[in-house]
Amino acid sequence: MSIVHYLWEHIGVDVPPAKVAEYWSHNRKFKVPWAENHPAGDYHIPLALYGDSCRTRQVSYQPARKVLGIFLSCPLFRPKSVRASRWLVFSIEEDQLQGDITLDRVLLYIAWALNCLFTGRWPRCDMKGTEFTHHKAERAGKWICGRPLAFALTELRGDWLWFKGLFRLRSSWKITLVEDSYFLPAAGQHSLQAHLDAAYSDFRAFCRTNKIACSQPPFTVKLVIKNGQEIMLTAKAYNNRVICAWLAATLEKAQHVPACDDRIPTMFVAMLLACIVMRAIP
């Protein structure tokens, strides 16, 4: 809340109401599932959360350290410099994380703050229900941005590694379609790479059919299998969205194949929901 208050009240970030209304009208006109079911009105300014980690500059003779960050952005605010459109909400060195507990607490607070932003007004109590005192009590109920503005979370952004951790996904299922020979390789070819080649051919056909431009390179065993056993297809953020859309379409067809793996219908629903969250459905 304080970040949005500072940006809109003091920095001068602004999105014209007409642009906001057009955003909602466009998505609902074309019956985008998440937009049709979103409780926001045509005046709610869309916000996005982006999570990622990176290696910090390594000190000589010291192991590299990774820092995780969560950023806030406004999809309709596009300054000349992209750096000015990403606002850090939280960061921490990954070796300081206490399992899932740390991020759970952070995300719980972010969810509470976003709910307050949805109303557009400063809350009267904290996330535990304790009423505020002093200066926080004085501003309770007033407009966060000093005028009638409300916000709504519309996008979760990040690469597959971020979503895997965020949603506590088990990555091993992603190779199920290959193990069940859904992607049939050329005659006489039985290796895992041959199945992945067939899967990639199907992926490119999906992109051509839906007129989707995607720079995803061929699927390889090294790209899919990490640390000798963990299954996780690593790709760029946009490519991941396309891959998820392809997997959703593939799983939808696979669940109708006689004697299919009994996990596939559940996988289809999970992937469909992931696509809706990432706005990855073509």
Residue 276 phi, psi (nearest 5): -65, -45
- In 3D space, the residue among 268, 276, 181, 175 whose CA is nearest the CA of residue 229 turns out to be 175
Instruction: Give the chain's domain count.
Output: 2
User: CA-CA distance, 282 to 47, in Å (whole number)?
Assistant: 21
Q: State whether 56 and 116 are in the same domain.
A: yes
Is the pLDDT higher at 178 or at 114? 114
Q: State whether 114 and 8 are in the same domain.
A: yes
- Per-residue pLDDT at 83 exceeds 90: no
182 residue type, one letter: Y
Average pLDDT in the chain: 86
pLDDT recorded at residue 66: 87
- Per-residue pLDDT at 282 exceeds 60: no
Q: State whether 140 and 15 are in the same domain.
A: yes
- SS in 3 state form for the chain? CHHHHHHHHHHCCCCCHHHHHHHHHHHHHCCCHHHHCCCCCCCEEEEEEEEEEEECCCCCCCCCCEEEEEEEECCCCCCCCHHHHCEEEEEEEHHHCCCCHHHHHHHHHHHHHHHHHHHCECCCECCCCCECCHHHHHHCCCECCCCCCEEEEEEEECCHHHHHHHCCCCHHHHHHHHHCCCCCCCCCCCCHHHHHHHHHHHHHHHHHHCCCCCCCCCCCHHHHEECCCEECCCCCHHHHHHHHHHHHHHHHHHCCCCCCCCCHHHHHHHHHHHHHHHCCCC
Which one of 156-165, 209-218, 270-279 scores highest in mean pLDDT? 209-218
Q: State whether 138 and 178 are in the same domain.
A: no
30-76 per-position pLDDT tens digit: 888 889 989 999 999 999 999 998 887 767 777 778 899 999 999 99
120-137 per-position pLDDT tens digit: 999 999 999 999 988 889
Q: State whether 34 and 123 are in the same domain.
A: yes
Domain boundary at 125, 157, 189, which?
157
pLDDT recorded at residue 173: 46
pLDDT recorded at residue 50: 93
Q: State whether 248 and 182 are in the same domain.
A: yes
User: Which residue range forms the structural domain that includes residue 96?
Assistant: 2-157
Question: pTM surpassing 0.85?
Answer: no
Domain boundary at 139, 157, 175, which?
157
Q: State whether 33 and 151 are in the same domain.
A: yes
Establish how many alpha carbons lie within 13 A of residue 263's alpha carbon, considering only the half-sphere containing its beta carbon. 11
236-274 per-position pLDDT tens digit: 878 888 888 898 898 888 888 877 777 788 888 878 877
Q: State whether 97 and 198 are in the same domain.
A: no
Q: State whether 101 and 184 are in the same domain.
A: no
Q: State whether 99 and 117 are in the same domain.
A: yes
Domain boundary at 157, 191, 216, which?
157
Strand partners, 153: 47
Q: State whether 103 and 44 are in the same domain.
A: yes
187-228 per-position pLDDT tens digit: 777 788 888 888 899 999 999 999 999 999 998 888 777 665
Q: State whether 149 and 239 are in the same domain.
A: no
Is the pLDDT higher at 109 or at 258? 109
User: CA-CA distance, 6 to 262, in Å (whole number)?
Assistant: 51
Q: Report, as an integer, the average pLDDT of 162-187.
A: 71
